Structure 1
Amino acid sequence: MSKDFLLEIGLEEMPAKYITASAKQLQERIEKWLAENDLAYETTEVYATPRRLSVIVKVLAEKQADRVEESKGPAKKIAKDENGNWSKAAQGFARGQGVDPDTLEFREIGGVEYIYLTKEVTGANTVDLLSDMRQIILTMTFPVSMHWASYDLRYIRPIKWLIAMFGDQVIPFEITNVTTGNTTRGHRFLGKEVAIASPAAYEEALLGQFVVADAEKRKAAIVSQIEEIEAVENWKIPMDADLLEEVNNLVEYPTVLHGTFDEAYLELPEEVLITTMKEHQRYFPVVDEAGKLRPYFITVRNGNHEHLETVAKGNEKVLRARLSDADFFYQEDLKITINEAVAKLKNIVFHEKLGTLTEKMVRVKKVALIIADHLNMTDAQKQKVSRAADIYKFDLVTNLVGEFPELQGIMGEKYALLQGEDSEVATAIREHYMPTSADGDLPQSDIGALLAIADKLETLTGFFCVGIVPTGSADPFSLRRSALGIMRIIQEKQWNIRILDILEDVVAIERADGLDELPSKEVFQEVQQFLNNRLRAILAEHQVRHDIIDAVIGGDLSVVPALIERATLLNKHRDADWFRPTMEALARVVNISKKYQTETKIDPALFENDSEAQLFEAVEKLKQAYPSLNVVERLQAFAGLRLAIDAYFENTLVMSDDENVRNNRLALLFELASFIKEFARIEDINVK
């Protein structure tokens, strides 16, 4: 008979941003354990609040299924001696299987007889296996963890109670002096401890103690209450998914309420108001039909509807103090000129090995102008690049950004426009931080995109020059994100620049500025490989097969958009009927052409069959057309060569005894191979 199983880890309040992932991890670990132990079940349900991570396994079998195991032993000639007695090898095999040697039988495989043992294994009872949950709990990993009391265990937060129930039976084990039971805890202020009669009663029992255990139901309740306020007040409340997720993980029993603030604060830039409400207070801003901010906010209380007016007033008081500070900082910042702010950057150390922000900006300006040259920008554009690079970090010394770091770049753009800077320069100041996450928004302006690449590439190369390189999961300066951002921006802009040519210049700039702890060649190679790996990650996310990634990227980063286009094109056609024979034919050309050692001009007079002449003619046509062909047309051209290549190899002995004929044939293959290798290392593609 099947039963439900409940595991609950009760904890002190966890950081909201880690709760969802932690609950998912617990669910996945339990599902993996169930599969490894061959335990049948219907489904798993995951629950999470700030004070608990829980999983219910529905309709879990009471025991493992009985199974038949077959084990193959040594060959008969080894298993028995010349007198027909069991050898030590056979006796050892039987002993290892826990049986008498006389129960062994022989089975013929491939004309050879081997010992074979077939035995029935009775499945273990589930209740005897579930104590493994202790190890599942102990092996969970978290971005942050802590010790408590005198225990050696590090965990996201101290464990306060544990439930492990199979049906109504408690599975006994202990962690840090906390023993499993059937009692959970309700809301910290509104609820109390409650006994769980069975896993099926878990959710309802907690609801009776003011805990909505199901995170999705809790989130739906928040959204529903917000929509109700929207309808009653005729407001628009933009639903920020990240903020909703965080707020949802801050409460166990959500009640939505609203408050107000002084309209005078609407004179502040909207970004200041929104950042104050969202990032610092976890409030949802309110806007009108046109999307303009109104002097109201929405917040979510961890509790019921009692005394909501008092709660609203308390939130209003806190927000008022925040906005008052923001207004003061904003007014003070307006008194500072950009040049005055830039001058202060020489007193801010970017990194002890990389110098001040001023020194960094000087290097970035050089990199930015080099990229501008590669992009053939006009003199007017270069002037804007130069100005943006001169000032793009100035807002880091402003009061408002000092108080609200989330506004860096955003306030730089605002202040730059207020002081009469060119709009493209101002936009670049904001956009140079982009993307701020692996899949974050990218710069839209050319100047902003260029400055973002220059800043990230200089940062990346600078750290490598002084020997600070990410290792394993340790990447304290987010260099992987910087490299990924570079690749994504170049691809988005479709800029056909050779990143390696620029990288050589960047390494030289860093070394000229005294960042020379490692040799130039080593830095160049390591940064190239680092960027290469980020490009591989982009292609892997697009489900491009790994052998195709290897074939296209090879050892040369080359032009990023072209690499991505070739990889995705090859991946798209990998299952086409023509793909395998075409790749095999092209790979054969490349592999044999490697034997070409003597520079030889192809002489048609040395051709000995029509297949040679036909392939030569096809290669000549390819040579003429190739520069004007796009990527799709080039692949089509290669596919069109297959029959000529196959006929050539069928009728032609490349490695002729006649040296002149041999070199002539190798020269033809080498010329064709040069086009193939420019497209991809076709020989690396697995077509077996």
Structure 2
Amino acid sequence: MNVENLLIEIGTEELPPKSLAKLASNFAQNIEKAFTESEFSFSSVTWYATPRRLAVSVLQLAEMQNDRIVEVRGPAVTVAFDASGNPTPAAIGWAKSNGIKISNTTRLKTDKGEWLYYKGTEKGLAVSQLISTIVDKALATLPIPKPMKWGSNTIQFIRPIHTVTMVYGKKLVSGKVFGIESSRTILAHRFMGPKSFVLNCADDYLQDLKNNFVIADFTQRKELIRQQIQDAAAKENAVADMNDELLEEVASLVEWPVALVASFDESFLAVPKEALIYTMKGDQKYFPLLDSAGNLKSRFIFISNIESSKPELVISGNEKVIRPRLADAEFFFNTDKKHTLESRLESLDTILFQKQLGSLLDKTKRIANLASSIAQSLGADAELAHRAGMLSKTDLMTNMVMEFPDVQGIMGMYYATIDGENSEVATALNEQYMPRFSGDSLPQSPISISLAIADKIDTLVGIFGIGQVPKGDKDPFALRRAAIGLLRIIVDKNLPIDLEIVVEASISTFGDKVQMSGLKQAVVDFVLARFKAWYLEQGIEIDVIQAVSEIRPTRPADFAARVQAITLFKNNPAAITLAAANKRVANILAKNPVNDFNTIDSRLLKESAEQDLVNALEATEAKLEGLLGNGDYNGALENLAKLRGPIDDFFENVMVMADEQDIRNNRLHILSRLRALFLSCGDISLLSQQA
């Protein structure tokens, strides 16, 4: 069978840069799925994307589908033929719907009767017969939130389509996609070289485009941009401020990247660097340059989409573009400095936080009181925490933050410093939002920590309190992110914070604004549930997480300590045996509940194995009291492991459910004490019994 590479390209108007890679990869996945389901053999599928094209290459694609063995069972023979032996409408309809002749059928005999039956070979179709339908469907099912129409077409897509190219080896595959006939015409670079060229062979696609100033491989283009930026920054003795998200967006904006360096007036450096960096990266897609100390330089890198014979003109044009944006930032900064943050406090009452929860001023007052309480519990300055809380949202009313929302908190820190506020208060205004994203830094000072926790708890309690619980993937108030951030802070800093206490304190600040029944438990359970996703990402096994979750420790730092200890304990040779024994104990007690489990009557210990277990149990309880009090779960579990021998002997030599009721109850009391001991660290019975 003939095997060739297939190239599919859809030439369009400029595609949305933030969704380009997602569109292209989904297009490739849809194509791959379609060829797999259609039973074509191929080796791999690769996607390409530029601002003006989505393309897929299918390597080593067979020209024909594999032949299929078709087996179809029809109606029962008794209803397939009439008394004269002629086919009934039931048989005729079945044969017609399956494209077969009744004369080609046989009989299938089973213990339930005899049936019409057909078995044959269905010849595979050629790529050329199916490709248009496959591509049409692959494009139609792309994740496009707002498709558009163009011209007189009724067809919708994310952008107008100009060309469709489907080339199998050297052969043009004819057919229409979204009403456009397949051709060999490939759009070249919009400004450099010819407007289009003819693709003679699928294997020539990447090189032909490169010869026409288009780098079609998205990953290659992105890495080329990264390297160009690094090389340009090195020549400037600087480091470029770039992240993967910005690199990907810029790679989605250009087809032939050329890195150039431009500059701006040094007087703008008097403005906080974060505001300047935000406008350069966010608005202009530029890459700011920093010196070795992290200070912003008055130079930046931008990526041009043309290789100009006069690059100085391109540079000059970009310098003219950035100047008014930086001038705006400078104006906002100088204007904002004329008013203190404290003077803006009352204006927060004009901004609604949430209809049922009041204004930002209401939230500010709640945060301030809660932050003060948390700081006191941590041994930090409660008055400074309260001050930080009262100023925490005031920078939202500044011109700078209204224009550039991403610098909230950061500008609060700068303005607080200018106002002469305590340095810890100023720092807390920035760090209150940490961690802003996965992997972000955490607040450092006790005041910052108190404010960050208070802000997150207030949002969680408030939104839960009005019944706006996250459902599915809908989480408009980012409560999951707030909960994980809360856990990260408490666990990383090993803070002695009990969620039940801090949530209850937060609830009290709302007055009658929150009415949800069982609010405290709902919020605490929601936060604790985030441990599962967090720990699974770290490679912690699910049974370990469940073992700790089952006993619901409400101090996150304590929860984390138990997880670490049980993870280590699981590697202990005694762990599996003890887990099985603990599960056996739990099952027995579930069927035979006992009261007053602390009471063990030594006079009723008839067997040496039960006496040995009681002795070991009491000795272990004495040791664990101090270990658990100090949070030494590793030590506690090491001592529990020593019970393996006495427990094994007990179950091997003692009948728990003795005929004498007093002896039976006494032995159940032993098991209750044993169960309580194991639950002191986590529910060991939930550990997997795999070796």
Q: Which residue of the partner structure matches residue 667 of structure 2?
A: 665
2:24 matches 1:28: no
Summarize deviations over 1:216-257 as a string: whole Å, max 9, x none.
222233234334434555554344433222222211111221
Contact 1:499 1:557 in 2 (8 A): no
> Following the alignment from structure 1 to structure 2, what is the Cα–Cα distance between the partners of residues 156 and 309?
36
Residue-by-residue CA offset, 1:374-427 (whole Å, 9 max, x unaligned)? xx322x522221111111111111121122112111111111122222222111
Aligned residues: 657
User: What is the aligned partner in structure 2 of residue 18 from structure 1?
Assistant: 19
Change (3 A) 1:6 1:444: farther
* Aligned-residue offset at 1:179: 4.4
How far apart in 2 are the matches of 1:123 and 1:634? 67
Alignment of 1:604 onto 2:602: yes
Find the counterpart in structure 2 of residue 622 from structure 1. Answer: 620
* Structure 2 letter corresponding to 1:602: I
- Residue 584 of structure 1 and its aligned partner are, at CA, apart by 0.8
Structure 1: how far apart are the matches of 2:234 and 2:218? Answer: 25
1:55 is aligned to 56
Shift of 1:357: 0.8
- Write out per-residue CA displacement over residues 61-84 of structure 1, whole angstroms, 9 at most, x where no aligned residue: 3345567799999xxxxxxxxxxx
Map of 1:486 onto structure 2: 486
Q: Give the corresponding residue for 1:414.
A: 414
2:356 maps to: 353
Q: Is the 8 Å Cα contact of residues 49 and 215 (structure 1) preserved in structure 2?
A: yes
**Structure 2 residue matching 1:4: 3-state secondary structure:** strand
1:371 and 1:121, CA in 2 relative to 1: closer, same or farther beyond 3 A?
farther
Does the 8 A contact of 2:375 with 2:447 survive in 1? Answer: no
Question: Which residue is 2:405 aligned to?
Answer: 405
Q: Secondary structure at the match of 1:188?
A: coil
- Residue 488 of structure 1 aligns to a residue in which SS? helix
SS of corresponding position for 2:679: helix
* Alignment check: 8 A CA contact 1:6 1:164 kept: yes
The CA RMSD over aligned residues, in Å, is: 3.5
Partner of 1:314: 317
Letter of the 2:394 counterpart? F
SS at 2:312 equivalent: helix
1:675 counterpart letter in structure 2: L
For residues 70 and 608 of structure 1, what CA distance do their matches in structure 2 show?
Answer: 71
Q: 1: CA distance between counterparts of 2:167 and 2:570?
A: 50
* Cα pair 1:63 1:125 within 8 Å, conserved: yes
* Superposed displacement of residue 171, structure 1: 6.0
The residue type equivalent to 1:492 in the other structure is D
Aligned partner of 1:531 in structure 2 is 527
For 1:332, the equivalent position in structure 2 comes to 335
Cα distance between partner residues in 2 of 1:55 and 1:400:
45
Matched, 1:642 2:644: yes
Instruction: Please state if 1:295 is matched with 2:298.
Output: yes
Gaps of at least 5 residues in structure 2 are 75-90
Q: 1:37 to 1:340 in 2, by over 3 A?
A: same
CA drift of 1:569 comes to: 5.1
Of 151, 161, 164, which aligns to 1:162?
A: 164
Contact kept, 8 Å, 1:586 with 1:642, in 2: the verdict is no
| Sequence identity (%) | 35
> Is contact 1:72-1:117 (8 Å) kept?
yes
1:590, distance to aligned residue in structure 2 (A): 2.2
How far apart are residue 106 of structure 1 and its match?
Answer: 8.9
Pick one of 251, 256, 263 that aligns with 1:253: 256
Which residue number in structure 2 is paired with residue 279 of structure 1? 282
- Write the distance in 2 (CA, Å) between the matches of 1:118 and 1:494: 70
| 1:195-236 deviation per Cα after TM superposition (whole angstroms, max 9, x unaligned) | 322321211222233221112222233234334434555554
8 A contact 1:105–1:117 mirrored in 2: no
- Residue 602 of structure 1, CA deviation: 0.8
Please report how far the alpha carbon of residue 360 of structure 1 lies from its aligned counterpart in structure 2 after TM superposition.
0.5
CA–CA distance in structure 2, aligned partners of residues 498 and 33 of structure 1:
53
Q: Give the distance between the partners of 1:106 and 1:134, measured in 2 at CA.
A: 44
Q: Which residue is 2:430 aligned to?
A: 430
Structure 2 counterpart of 1:429, one-letter code: L
- Please state whether the residue corresponding to 2:216 is helix, strand or coil: coil
Cα offset for 1:180? 4.2
2:578 aligned partner: 582
Query: 2:528 and 2:454 mapped to 1: Cα distance?
Result: 17
Contact 2:551 2:682 in 1 (8 A): no
**TM-score w.r.t. length of structure 2:** 0.86
Amino acid at match of 1:61: A
Which piece of structure 1 moves more, 186-195 or 51-60?
Answer: 186-195
1:203 aligns with 2:201: no
Secondary structure (helix, strand or coil) at the match of 2:7 reads strand
Deviates more, 1:129-138 or 1:398-407: 129-138
Q: Secondary structure at the match of 1:57?
A: strand
Whether the aligned pair in 1 keeps the contact of 2:551 and 2:683 (CA below 8 Å) is no
The within-5 A match list for 1:76-225 is: 125-130=126-131, 131-142=133-144, 144-149=145-150, 155-167=157-169, 168-170=171-173, 172-175=175-178, 177-190=179-192, 191-225=194-228
- The CA distance in 2 between the partners of 1:229 and 1:392, in whole Å, is 40
Determine helix, strand or coil for the equivalent of 1:679: coil
User: What does residue 84 of structure 2 align with?
Assistant: none
The CA deviation at 1:606 is 0.8
Once the two structures are superposed, the pairs formed by residues 507-526 of structure 1 within 5 Å of their partners are 507-510=507-510, 512=511, 514-516=512-514, 518-521=515-518, 523-526=519-522
CA contact (8 A) 2:569 2:634 kept: no
| 3-state secondary structure, aligned to 1:615 | helix
Which residue of structure 2 lines up, in the alignment, with residue 546 of structure 1? 542
Deviation at 1:189, TM superposition (A): 3.1
Q: Distance in 2 between matches of 1:169 and 1:570?
A: 63
Name the residue aligned to 1:80.
none
Measured at CA, do residues 127 and 681 of structure 1 come closer, stay the same or move farther in structure 2, by a change above 3 Å? Answer: farther
Residue pair 2:579, 2:686 contacting (<8 A) in 1 also = no
Closer/same/farther in 2, CA of residues 609 and 433 from structure 1, 3 Å limit: same
Q: What's 2:677 paired with?
A: 675
Q: Closer, same or farther in 2 for the Cα pair 1:484/1:288, shift >3 Å?
A: closer
Contact kept? 1:417, 1:426, Cα under 8 Å: yes
Report how far residue 499 of structure 1 moved.
1.2
Contact preservation (8 Å) 1:106, 1:116: no
Q: Matched residue of 2:261: which SS? A: strand
Report the secondary structure of 2:361's partner residue.
helix
The residue type equivalent to 2:147 in the other structure is M
Is the CA contact (8 Å cut-off) linking 1:551 and 1:685 kept in structure 2?
yes
Q: 2-side partners of 1:161 and 1:619: how far apart?
A: 79
Residues 157 and 571 of structure 1: is their aligned pair in 2 closer, same or farther, counting only changes over 3 Å? farther
Distance (Å, rounded) in 2 between the aligned partners of 1:423 and 1:606: 68
Distance 2:452 2:65 in 1: 57
Quote the offset at 1:586 in angstroms: 1.5
The secondary structure found in structure 1 opposite 2:420 is: coil
Choose which of 631, 634, 641 in structure 2 pairs with 1:632. Answer: 634
Give me the whole-angstrom Cα distance separating, in 2, the residues matched to 1:155 and 1:19. Answer: 13
Q: Are the counterparts in 2 of residues 256 and 299 from structure 1 also a CA contact under 8 Å?
A: yes
Of stretches 239-248 and 118-127 in structure 1, the one that deviates more from structure 2 is 118-127
Counterpart residue type for residue 615 of structure 1: L
Answer with 210-219 or 440-449: which moved more: 440-449
Give the match for residue 86 of structure 1: none
Q: Secondary structure at the match of 1:47?
A: strand
Aligned to 2:441: 441
- What SS is found at the alignment partner of 1:210? coil
Letter in 1 for 2:259: V
Whether the aligned pair in 2 keeps the contact of 1:64 and 1:126 (CA below 8 Å) is yes
Aligned amino acid, residue 488 of structure 1: R
- Residues 409 and 21 from structure 1, CA distance in 2 versus in 1: closer, same or farther, beyond 3 angstroms? same
